[in-house]
Amino acid sequence: MRILSYNVNGIRAALGKGLADWIQQEQPDVLCLQETKAQLDQIPTSLFEELGYKGYFVSAEKKGYSGVGILTKQTPDAVYYGMQNSKYDCEGRVIRADFGDVTIVCVYIPSGTTGDVRQAFKMEFLADFEAFITHLRTERPNVVVCGDYNIAHQPIDINHPERQVGVSGFLPEEREWLTHFIETGMIDSFREFDSRAEQYSWWTYRMGARKRNAGWRIDYHLVSQPLRNQLVGAGIMQEVVHSDHCPVWVEIKQ
């Protein structure tokens, strides 16, 4: 099963930049999308069906904001929308699909860059999301948690880390949370296969950052430990340019 995760920064904008042609060429088994920025009636599900994918989406109540979705060739055994917590679910941040004994969770973790209120909201989300995944793993041990985490974990995951002190997305408490979450029994699948620096998945649109590769690695597939022996590979598709993010992928044996 080849699983791709992609923050598209607006699904309609990405489609205008050739997203559909790229999906047809790439043919992932599952494509998890974040920041769709669209209401359900604005998402062209019939187009995805023509490409061979069933689409499942959660939108934010606020128009043009957040939103996640899963495109899949195989019909899931079950799909669950949100975390059953209205505080977060109104922002369209989590969707889950079960395939046999494997569960895929697509998450768009909040950003804290707009100020203290949203940073506090982000930290609350992180705590509650960890509890959500921990409980899920008692019932479904084989879990892939993919998406935009809005956290660069280690200095190797961000350009010029010495310049990012005090910046949301690289705060000590965010990085500590991610370390702890991994220590609960999750695997950073990319780092299982690639230990190189300067492997980023997001670049600001400002100052030609992408051309200079002045980026952050904030998009992950975290895979639960029971799936370790089924990991085949993982990577970052930096050449794909429909968004300020690029897709990341993981492959597992089923």
- Domain locations in the chain? 2-252
Listed residue (177, 197, 195) closest to 186, CA to CA: 177
Render pLDDT for 203-225 as a digit per residue (tens, 0 to 9). 999 999 999 999 999 999 999 99
For residue 111, count other CB atoms closer than 10 A to its CB. Answer: 18
- Active-site annotation holds for 101: no
Residues in the chain: 254
Alpha carbons 38 and 31: distance in angstroms, whole number: 17
Render pLDDT for 101-144 as a digit per residue (tens, 0 to 9). 999 999 999 999 999 999 999 999 999 999 999 999 999 999 99
CA angle 20, 30, 176 (to 5 degrees): 110
Using a cut of 0.95, tell me whether the model's pTM lies above it.
Answer: yes
The one catalytic residue in 29, 116, 148, 157 is 148
CATH architecture of 2-252: 4-Layer Sandwich (3.60)
E-strand spans in 59-126?
A: 68-72, 78-81, 94-99, 102-108
Give the CA distances from residue 105 to residues 80, 82, 221, in Å, rounded to whole numbers and listed in that order: 9, 10, 10
